[in-house]
Structure 1
Amino acid sequence: MSSRPSAHRIVSVKPIPVPAPGRGMELQVKVTAPWSGENLPVIVFSHGNAWSLDGYAPLVDRWAAAGFVVVQPTHLDARRHTIGWDDPRFATIWRVRIADLHAVLDDLGDILAQAGLDARVDRDRVAVAGHSWGAQTAGAILGARVLDADGVPGEDFSHSAVSAGVLIAATGTGDTLTPFAAQNLPFMKPDFSTMATAALVVAGGRDQSQLSTRGPDWFTDAYHLSPAPKSLLTLAEAEHTMGGIAGEGAAETTDEDPARVVFLADAIAAYLSAALGTDDAAWTALSRTAEDGDGRWGIAGK
């Protein structure tokens, strides 16, 4: 059982360099943690396209206040790196993103030591999470693969250090990509049949992707097409940023709803506490509430 912090005070350390040979740019991470507490679980978080280690404070800060240590890398597609879709490097960034998470997981001990947290963390309780493109990146760590042009699954990028995951607005199957997506984002063809690690899939009921001809159900494929154990949290009114998870006032937010963001952050913390074996009371209570919910959200499981 984790020793939870006595107050909601948190601390962040950035930037912390992480060895990543051949990457072309230094890999840096931000670590956010409770001010106090021991035996703390870890979440490695992969941001959506164009964001960085400075984004997603509405989620990350609340997770840290709930007793998690959160590690956020900045991927190559961060806006600050100015690598657009027309850049020849963009075609392989999906692989570099996955390599970034492997580098963080492999070097986690040193990262935590640089943040002054190595003695306070339970290294046996590690999860990955991500939003949008970051969800596909995190999904690869959980065991999902990418189908090639002939429908053959690619290599296995899963990592043995990870016990659970959370996929927020994860890319669905690639058979309904728009012509633009098929040409420029051919890696958006995940195969979830091998994603065996426990995970929570989060989908918005009004999330209409411009990259797929399907509706919001596209973002539930990671749940329906993967083996158990999985849970699905659907937020009926949510669009792609779930109410503003990337940051307050972010330009990408089309459905600003701070209360929904708080609910989502707390729901994810509850799920991961249960999945990582620290405390299942909050997730059990939330799941029971869903049975009598008012339609704003729902939980399914298998």
Structure 2
Amino acid sequence: MSSTHLTQRTVAVKPITVPAPDRSGDLQVKVTAPLSGQNLPVIVFSHGNAWSLDGYEPLVDRWAAAGFVVVQPTHLDSRRNGIGWDDPRFATIWRVRIADLHAVIDGLDNLLIQAGGLETRVDRERIAVVGHSWGAQTAGALLGARVLDADGVPGEDFSHAAVSAGALIAATGAGDTLTPLAVEHLPFMRPDYSTMTTPALVIAGGKDQSQLSTRGPEWFTDAYHLSPSPKSLLAITEGEHTLGGLAGEMVAETTDEDPARAALVADAISAFLHDAFKLNDAAWTDLNNAAAASDGTWSIASK
């Protein structure tokens, strides 16, 4: 696992408001980027439940140091908005989350200008979406996944033509084994991955036991197994839902704190995207070789 000290200097700009006229409240984002470099690829990141643009620095800082411009919106479910399950807006937040990512991508030029002249340094042909937990389901929609209704009929296609790769961390699995809690409050957690054709890396922890499914940790590998190729799966044997502390060091929900594990997740996504974008395949090749020699603590599969 990688825990290399970062030497590339980066800069972050926040908050930047993105036009979203039909949204309840402003859509604000944070942009993190390397101080130098041209033709930089873009990662649009969707946070997990209750988080905001101020989280996930263990991921974002490493991605920016690796040469990505990272855009982090704050979704309506952020704890700073105080929207609980009993709020009438909650039932549609999953759709607003997806709309947030579309608004970011569609308004990319303007927000890059506000971020300090980044519009001249970005490669608009290389845009990825990445998400963790609820954010993974959100990002998956832009990669082509759909949501099944109560009768098992796939819903609307939310894929975005500008997105050419992605990564899903601890993504919702198939919804036929949801717990009563999830059925009552989160009926949209029924993804259909059969239409998720965009190249993606799926990351799952071997000790990630969700309270929303009656299945075990393998539930979080469905996005890999149930989607068409090309896909890759990074399985981390001892990883729990926060995979070492992705949202931040020593945050309350991090039960498996391990900075090296969080760094592995970040670096695997950077390596995968550099390969998917045909920028450089060396890091992804090295990571696959390291996985083969890892004594089973983590593994990579591809199809």
What is the TM-score with the length of structure 1 in the denominator?
Answer: 0.97
In structure 2, what is the equivalent of residue 90 of structure 1? 90
Distance 1:102 1:22 in 2: 13
1:59 aligns with 2:50: no
Distance 2:249 2:234 in 1: 22
Aligned length: 297
- Give ranges in structure 2 of 5+ residues lacking alignment: 1-5
Cα deviation code 1:121-171 (max 9, x no counterpart): 111000000000000000000000000000000010000000000000000
In structure 2, what is the equivalent of residue 3 of structure 1? none
In structure 2, what is the equivalent of residue 194 of structure 1? 195
Aligned-pair CA distance for 1:291:
2.0
Distance 2:28 2:96 in 1: 13
Counterparts of 1:124-139 in structure 2, within 5 Å, are: 124-139=125-140
Computed over aligned residues only, the root mean square deviation of the Cα atoms, in angstroms, reads: 0.9
Counterparts of 1:8-27 in structure 2, within 5 Å, are: 8-27=8-27
**SS of the residue 2:157 aligns to:** coil
Aligned-pair CA distance for 1:263:
1.6
In structure 1, what is the equivalent of residue 266 of structure 2? 265
> Residue type matched to 1:58 in 2?
P
Aligned-pair CA distance for 1:264:
1.4
Counterparts of 1:244-263 in structure 2, within 5 Å, are: 244-263=245-264
Aligned-pair CA distance for 1:7:
5.0
In structure 1, what is the equivalent of residue 172 of structure 2? 171
> Residue type matched to 1:237 in 2?
E
Distance 2:14 2:81 in 1: 17
> Residue type matched to 2:183 in 1?
A
Distance 1:218 1:24 in 2: 33
In structure 1, what is the equivalent of residue 45 of structure 2? 45
Distance 2:266 2:184 in 1: 34
> Residue type matched to 2:270 in 1?
A
In structure 2, what is the equivalent of residue 229 of structure 1? 230
> Residue type matched to 1:105 in 2?
I
More deviation, 290-299/22-31: 290-299
Distance 2:157 2:206 in 1: 31
In structure 2, what is the equivalent of residue 284 of structure 1? 285
- Give ranges in structure 1 of 5+ residues lacking alignment: 1-5
Cα deviation code 1:239-281 (max 9, x no counterpart): 0000100001110101000111112111111111111111111
Aligned-pair CA distance for 1:292:
2.5
Distance 1:24 1:101 in 2: 15
Distance 1:35 1:7 in 2: 12
Distance 2:139 2:212 in 1: 19
> Residue type matched to 2:198 in 1?
T
**SS of the residue 1:83 aligns to:** coil
Aligned-pair CA distance for 1:285:
1.4
More deviation, 262-271/48-57: 262-271
Aligned-pair CA distance for 1:288:
2.1
**SS of the residue 2:163 aligns to:** coil
> Residue type matched to 2:108 in 1?
L
Cα deviation code 1:20-77 (max 9, x no counterpart): 0121100010000001111100000000000000000000001000100000000000
Distance 2:57 2:35 in 1: 16
In structure 1, what is the equivalent of residue 30 of structure 2? 30
Distance 2:48 2:7 in 1: 30
**SS of the residue 2:221 aligns to:** helix
